[in-house]
Every structure is written in structure tokens, then in C-alpha cells.
Amino acid sequence: MSATGNTTNSRKSDLGLSKAEIDSLSSQVTGLVTEYFGQVSDLPVFPQTSGGPTIAHLESHLPLAGEPLEKLLADCRAIINGIRHNGHPRQFGYVASPATPAGAFADLIASALNVNVTAWRSAPAATELERMVVRWLGSMIGYSEEAHGLLTSGGSMANLIAMLIAHRAKAKEDIARMGLWSYGPPMTIYTSDQVHMSIQKAADILGIGRDQVRTIESDDTFHLNVRALRNQVQEDLRNGLKPFCVVASAGTVNTGAVDPLNEIADLAAEFDLWFHIDGAYGAPAILDERKRWLFAGLNRADSVSLDAHKWLYVPIDAGCLLFRNHAAARAAFASGEADYIRVLEQPDTDEAFAFWDYGIELSRRFRALKIWLTFRYYGLTRIAAAISEDNSLAEYLGRCVDEADDFELLAPVELSICCFRYLPRGSKASLASASVVERARIDGELDQLNTRLMLAVQRGGQAYLSNATLRGGFALRACITNFRTTQADIDKTLEIIREAARRETG
């Protein structure tokens, strides 16, 4: 009984909705999503707008009272018209695959459940499902059933966690308790000049320092140069430093190059280095039988980052960190708990499992559901076929560029990224006969021209390319990770570039 003797089963501030209201909301919102999936290929890839005006017409004040759903959905349509559409078949700017309808609706279910996937006791089924999905991804890259891991927001978080685990595993000191200053000589990381920016950022965040990331110049085909890597490790050892980790790329974000993983694994074993592979973009390409040979040695890594939202057609965010030795990962994080999260079950049981023992986040979304449902709905065979076709389309683009008089291929097409540049009439002949000084001048002019062309293509809204810097030069970059893209989209994009060039050069 209450203090006043009266009780009530309702409250004045209820935010719930009646069944009729929920049915209406569900029908209209799913209708909007269905409408979007049906028209995404016909929308401009990029909005015809600039910073500020994009959503300036929307209500900018914090609302004190609710508004009709019809008005809110109209505003949602305005927001849809103001974004870059990753699902558009000619969105080639970045390695970000479109969400399948199955994955998108799975994310809706996960949001409705709103579970916090911290530990088994917080979300039993969600925790077990995430561990299952992690095993699936591990088996996909050749890890054994003993492998572990966790889902993350993306590759940057996965790489940060991997660097922390590597650092703690190789320090041989209680750095978690005593801090970096207690260790002694600087500990060094090794990677190529093509590595993702998140590795440098991780070294910064962890206090290792960006200067301790040894950037090894890549070879002529943009792969990590293992001989140069060996020389740098040996030099640092002679100088009293402590090499502890080498990071390889299984598909660089610039060109899609896959580093020689087996050779790097051998070197890591020889010098007792933690071997991490950034496969956030490229690792799913192991499912393409034609490309599988490139990934020999992937399963020898101590840890691998992999983003399901980059090339497994799962909605953002769906990153993953896999590691062979779960004991090293747990030792890096399981160093004291607050009373309110302490697990009371017997240790080493499923009921005692907690993701906070293996990563940074405590609050965690139910990311596994959209991966699980996508894999279950489509099956790995169909997903692998889509990845293989993406690779084939990039190869087709590479051939079109290589055979054209007005384009130049700037890097081998190894996976689904193609880097190239536009050449005005006569440029190929001029470059072939130019002196070193003259070539530098021509290259500089071509860099400026291709920069303008990229911006013109982006603003035109019919296609979207990004850029890469290769050997100091500007490259147009097309990343194909889209199940909607066809050869016709490749042909159309080249024509869009040519039309932009005609406007630029007269």
C-alpha cells in the first residue's frame, strides 16, 4: 500500500502509444523506408546544396510540444533529399556498402528491443547471438573455433582496441596500473604508408605517440615492402627501441592492395611482434574464390579488424575485431570492475561472460541482429557472389580506363577500388616524351584539373568519386561495394567525367 493508501496503474507523463497509434506510425514509417528503397537509384547521389542551407528550413528550436506525424515525415523526406546516398549505384566515393532491406529492418527490430549488450546477464540472447556472429566472421577468414572477438562501431574502434591489446600483451609490465612512463624504451609500431589513418590515431590516443609509428614506404604496387620493414625493425632494435606490433592491410583504402600477409606473419614471428591486420574494407573479399589467394596468411594474424558495413551490405555501424588469443584480450581490459557491474556467477561460464572484458565500450548496441539476419536471409553464397561481382566491375572499369586515350590507370586493380586520372587530348604523348622537370609540370597541371573534375562530378549529383594521393599525385578513386552497380553505371560515370572535362577545358 502507498503512503496515502491509494495506488494507480497509470501515469501522467506516459510516452507510450495506443495500438492504433503504433499501427499508424509503423505503417507510415515503413512505407517511407520502402519508398526510399524503391527510388534510391533515381535520386541525386549528392544534394544540390551547401553547408548551412541543407536543413535550414527545418524547425531549429528545441520543441516544447509534440507535432503531427505527417509534418515529421515530410521533414524526414527533406532530410533524405539532403544526404549523400550510399545506396546509389554510382556512389563510388567510399568503401561503404548500401544496407540491404533485410539488414535495415533488422536494425529496426534491434532498436525496438533496445537491449544494452554489455554482458550475458544484461542481454542473454543478444550476447549469445553476437558471440555466434563473431564466430561466423572468424570462420570466414579462416580462424578456428577458438577465436573470439566483439562487434564495434567500425574499423577505427576495432584498430584502437587491437593496438591496446597488442601493447599490453608485449609490454611485459603492468602498464594498466603503472602507466607508460614506467616501461622504459619507446615501443614501436610498423606499417606501410598506405595504412588507414586510424592506426596513427590509435598510437596518439594510447600515448604511444605518432612518432613511434614507423611508416614503411610501399613498393611499386602499393604493398608493404617486407625487406624495408625488416631493415627498420633491425635498426630500431640496434637503437634500443622496443618493436611490438606490425600492422598489415588486407585491402588498403587507397588502392585496395592486399599486403603479403604470409611474409609479414613470418617476420612478426621472428621478431616476436603482435601481428594485426586491418581488413576493415578488404577482408570480406576472401569470399571471392578468384581473390582468395591474396589472403593467404590472414588467419595467422593475432587480430583482424573487419567491417560488415563496408562490404557485407550491412547497415552502419557493424565493425568487428577478431583475435586468436582471447586471454591476451581479456588481460588488457579485465582489470577491475565497479560493484554495480560485477558479475556474480561462477567464472568461466557463459553466464559470466561480459563484453567489457574485451573492449572499451560499456553501453553497446545490438549490432549482431542485422548481421545475423542478413546472413540468414541471403545466405553466404549470394553475399559472396555480390562481392565477386563488385570486384569484376572494378576490373571492368580498370580495363575501360587502360584502353582509353583520355584516361590513365594509376594503380593495379586488386579488389574493388580503381584509381585513375583524366588526360586531355595529347597528354599521353607529352608525358611519354617529357623530361623529369617537364613531367613534374604536366603532372601538377593534371592534378589541378582532376581535382576540379572530381568536385564537378560530385556537385553534379549523377555520380560520386573521391580521391587518393598516390606517390604525391592526385588520383580519382572509385570504390565499388554496391549490389546495385552495373556495367552501365561504370560507362555512365566515365561519360560524366568526360562531359565535366569538356566544360572545364572548352
Q: Would you call 303 helix, strand, or coil by DSSP?
A: strand
For the record, the C-alpha cell of 167 comes out as: 601493447
DSSP 8-state assignment for residue 464: B
Give the per-residue pLDDT at 409.
98
For cell 602499393, name the residue. Answer: 222
Element (H, E) at 284: none
User: φ and ψ at 277, to 5 degrees?
Assistant: -120, 125
Are 123 and 117 in contact by the 8 Å Cβ rule? The answer is yes
Element (H, E) at 274: strand 274-278
Give the per-residue pLDDT at 176.
72
Give the per-residue pLDDT at 336.
59
Give the per-residue pLDDT at 54.
63
Nearest to 319 by CA among 334, 304, 309: 309
pLDDT tens digit at each of 506 positions of the chain: 555 567 778 788 888 999 999 999 999 999 999 999 999 999 999 987 766 666 667 767 888 999 999 999 999 998 998 899 999 999 999 999 999 999 999 999 999 999 999 999 999 999 999 999 999 999 999 999 888 999 999 999 999 999 999 999 998 777 777 777 666 789 999 999 999 999 999 999 999 999 999 999 999 999 999 999 999 999 999 999 999 999 999 999 999 999 999 999 999 999 999 999 999 999 999 999 999 999 999 999 999 999 999 999 999 999 999 999 888 999 898 765 555 556 555 566 778 899 999 999 999 999 999 999 999 999 999 999 999 999 999 999 999 999 999 999 999 999 999 999 999 988 888 888 899 999 999 999 999 999 999 999 999 999 999 999 999 999 999 999 999 999 999 999 999 999 999 999 87
Residue 467 CB contacts under 8 Å (≥ 6 apart), including other chains: 450, 451, 454, 474, 475, 476, 477
For the record, the C-alpha cell of 356 comes out as: 567489457
Element (H, E) at 326: helix 326-333
pTM score, two decimals? 0.94
Residue 237 CB contacts under 8 Å (≥ 6 apart), including other chains: 243, 271
Burial 135-169 (b: 16+ CB within 10 A, else e): bebbebbbbeeebbbbbbbbbbbbbbbbbbbbbbb
Are 490 and 393 in contact by the 8 Å Cβ rule? The answer is yes
Give the per-residue pLDDT at 341.
55
Is-cis flag, bond preceding 390, omega within 30? no
CA distances from 414 to 9, 99, 181, 418, 491 (A): 64, 24, 43, 8, 20
For cell 586488386, name the residue. Answer: 414
Q: Can you say how many angstroms the Cα of residue 110 is from the centroid of all Cα atoms in its chain?
A: 21
- What CA–CA distance (Å, rounded) separates 311 from 96? 7
Q: Would you call 36 helix, strand, or coil by DSSP?
A: helix
Element (H, E) at 477: strand 473-479
- Concatenating the DSSP letter of every residue in 162-219 gives HHHHHHHHHH-S-HHHH-GGGT-SPEEEEEETTS-HHHHHHHHHTTS-GGGEEEEPB-
The three-point CA angle 500-494-99 to 5° equals 110
CA distances from 311 to 33, 235, 270, 383, 432 (A): 22, 38, 33, 9, 38
For the record, the C-alpha cell of 59 comes out as: 524547425
Ordered structural domains, the chain, with CATH: 24-52+68-100+379-506 (3.90.1150.170), 116-334+346-365 (3.40.640.10)
Write the single-letter amino acid at 392.
Answer: S
Residue 190 CB contacts under 8 Å (≥ 6 apart), including other chains: 213, 214, 216, 229, 232, 233, 243, 245, 246, 247, 273
Are 314 and 103 in contact by the 8 Å Cβ rule? The answer is yes
Pairing, β 148-152 against β 319-323? antiparallel
